[in-house]
Structure 1
Amino acid sequence: NWRKNRRPHKGSKFVGTDCNRNYDVFWESGPSKTQRNTYKGERPFSEPETRAMRNILDSLSPNLLFFLSLHSYGQSIMYPWGYCRDPPHHWRELHTLATSGRSAIKTYNGREYRTGSISCLTKRTIAGSVVDYVYGVLKAPMALVMELPSRELGFQPPVEMISQIGHESWFGIREMCKSAFDLRRRI
């Protein structure tokens, strides 16, 4: 199960950086050993992928209402913070937003997604994540991560499941976009 990019590291036989640990938000507390599957990189934004995302997100940030990062796997919809267990300022609205996606998916096909903060649902802290960067640094009012199904399927679901996962995800995403629009005046 590969989760890192493929960029080699000088002086190491290990390859890759976890791009979702490479953002400049509490980056220093992330894993610093290149052999780790969640290696944070040599410095914040050391990877071309995260620099490209940073540039796009920075340009959009003045008008960004809602940001959603899709990941596999975990079957959950989570909000900040990943780097600590403290609740974010607008956690009630973020929870409402996540719950709207969960409810839409359950109505669509009965699949249950968990909702909550990243650090609480994963039972660990995660430094340098894109969601914490967008919410904490860029100050987007709403930022979530959606972990697609499921532990049994792993990082690469079988080909025959991709369409089903895409459809259920779309139902959740569409509802969260509607909810974000409705919640915009409360944040």
Structure 2
Amino acid sequence: MKLLWYAMCSLFIAQTEVKGCIYDGFKVYELTSKIHSSALDLYRMVKNESQYVLLSGRGTIVMVHPEAQAEFLHLLENNQWEHRVLNHDVGLDLSNAFETNRNLTNLYPYKGHAGTDRYYTFDEINRYIEDLAQQYPSRVFVKTVGKSYEGRTMKTIRITNGDGRAKKNVILMDGGIHAREWIAHAAVLYAIGELSNNYQKHAQLLQDYDWVILPVVNPDGYEFTQLSADNRFWRKTRQPINESCIGTDGNRNFDFHWNETGAYWDPCSTIYPGPKAFSEPETIVVRDLIQSLAGRGKMYLTLHSYGQYILYPYGYTNALPVTWRDLEEVARAGANAIMEATGTRYKVGCSGSSIYPIAGASDDYAFNAGFPISFTMELPPGGANKFDPPASDIDRLVKEAWVGIEAMARKVIQKYPLKDSTVL
């Protein structure tokens, strides 16, 4: 049976109201291989099972249905994988977290400011960037750049110093291409707040550079994860593929070595690359942004979780680009700044060799389109399931991420100074 359990449940709960949580009794296992098998080997081992959900982008965190746990342990033993249990009852953990998030939303309603007390909805994020544009009309500009499959309006925020000079260099940043990675959305939101509200502190970052930021790449998926605890692990977009399967992995959908490696053609797979490159309206929005800014764009940064990585091209191969030393230098600036500030160690390296080959990713596409610096930043894990840091961790994680982002931006500004600009 090809359907993953989670895909079946997601289709079911979209039409019916269920009591409790569909993940009651599920366990989460963290795996390591005795023989250095790859994450893709693990995908192959369980991909045809109906009761396994691979949570980790590296493929080493697996959620298992209660009825399949004995069989799963047998599979691990036969394939020389070691394990430890991270979560003994996923349903209970998710139900508690969902209730906590709902209470925090009531406790901290949106009033024109997005803090770090809780996770915000897509509509609240849009309202926040619009409020910033009204508050700083000479420095902050919001633009509608497209719509998601379900019709949600996708907007960018462009943050400037207000001097009116055109053709500045650009840093392009986005987050949340994977719906369940809520901390990525929160980190992008924090960066927006720092650049907009603390202009004097960050004036150098905006002197010759504009920042263009798409806060949520996958609004349909993000909103779906917030409907109930049952949906919390949804990763993909929400455009149906066929009668049984919904969604595409947006970070496998870009037209650069698309579908060559790191994906599965099963439409129900969490890493399904789509029926064709740029099949998703959301990835088309990112493509058009990259193309429109490529002449001025000096750094593209996409935020994900989890892993504590700053990854650079290429993803589709473990071969390094000719300019890998420039990428390494900027990435190291970010990792070192974080290490010095908080002691958290971020690993730096090429995507294809640091994790496993991933074709059709946005950072590879941006790099090939002309951005000399292009990164995927994988934020640290959190919560019992790794992908769900509790709200109490938001402040620490997003401030730490900003330390790295700011350091990388300063290094980019130093390496790629503005050559020419004009007054409007």
| TM value normalised by structure 2 | 0.42
Q: 1:74–1:151: 8 Å Cα contact kept in structure 2?
A: no
Does structure 1 residue 168 correspond to structure 2 residue 396? Answer: no
- In the alignment, which of 345, 356, 375 is matched to residue 112 of structure 1? 345
**In 2, Cα distance between the equivalents of 1:75 and 1:19?**
21
- In the alignment, which of 380, 391, 399 is matched to residue 159 of structure 1? 391
Q: Which residue matches 1:64? A: 297
Does structure 1 residue 139 correspond to structure 2 residue 364? Answer: no
1:62 aligned counterpart, secondary structure: coil
Q: Which residue matches 1:73? A: 306
Give the unaligned 5+ runs of structure 1: none
- Shift of residue 184, structure 1, vs aligned partner: 2.4
**In 2, Cα distance between the equivalents of 1:28 and 1:21?**
7
Task: Work out the number of aligned pairs and report it.
Answer: 182
**In 2, Cα distance between the equivalents of 1:95 and 1:150?**
23
Root mean square deviation, CA, Å: 1.4
- Shift of residue 151, structure 1, vs aligned partner: 7.0
1:107 aligned counterpart, secondary structure: helix
- In the alignment, which of 281, 284, 291 is matched to residue 51 of structure 1? 284
Does structure 1 residue 42 correspond to structure 2 residue 310? Answer: no
* Larger Rg, first or second structure (1 or 2): 2
**In 2, Cα distance between the equivalents of 1:50 and 1:38?**
15
* Identical counterparts, % of pairs: 36
Which structure is richer in relative contact order (CA contacts within 8 A, separation 6 or more)?
1
**In 2, Cα distance between the equivalents of 1:5 and 1:77?**
24
1:77 aligned counterpart, secondary structure: strand
**In 2, Cα distance between the equivalents of 1:151 and 1:128?**
27
**In 2, Cα distance between the equivalents of 1:133 and 1:84?**
13
Partner letter of residue 72 of structure 1?
S
Q: 2:382–2:388: 8 Å Cα contact kept in structure 1?
A: no
Q: Deviations over 1:141-186 (max 9, x none)?
A: 110110000276622211111111110010000000011122227x
**In 1, Cα distance between the equivalents of 2:353 and 2:291?**
28
**In 2, Cα distance between the equivalents of 1:145 and 1:170?**
14
| TM value normalised by structure 1 | 0.92
Partner letter of residue 135 of structure 1?
F
Cα distance, 1:178–1:92 mapped onto 2, change above 3 Å: same
Q: 2:333–2:408: 8 Å Cα contact kept in structure 1?
A: yes
**In 1, Cα distance between the equivalents of 2:237 and 2:387?**
14
Partner letter of residue 80 of structure 1?
P
Q: 2:253–2:277: 8 Å Cα contact kept in structure 1?
A: yes
**In 2, Cα distance between the equivalents of 1:150 and 1:114?**
14
Q: Which residue matches 1:23? A: 254
- In the alignment, which of 266, 269, 273 is matched to residue 33 of structure 1? 266
Give the unaligned 5+ runs of structure 2: 1-232, 418-424
2:364 aligned counterpart, secondary structure: helix
1:65 aligned counterpart, secondary structure: strand
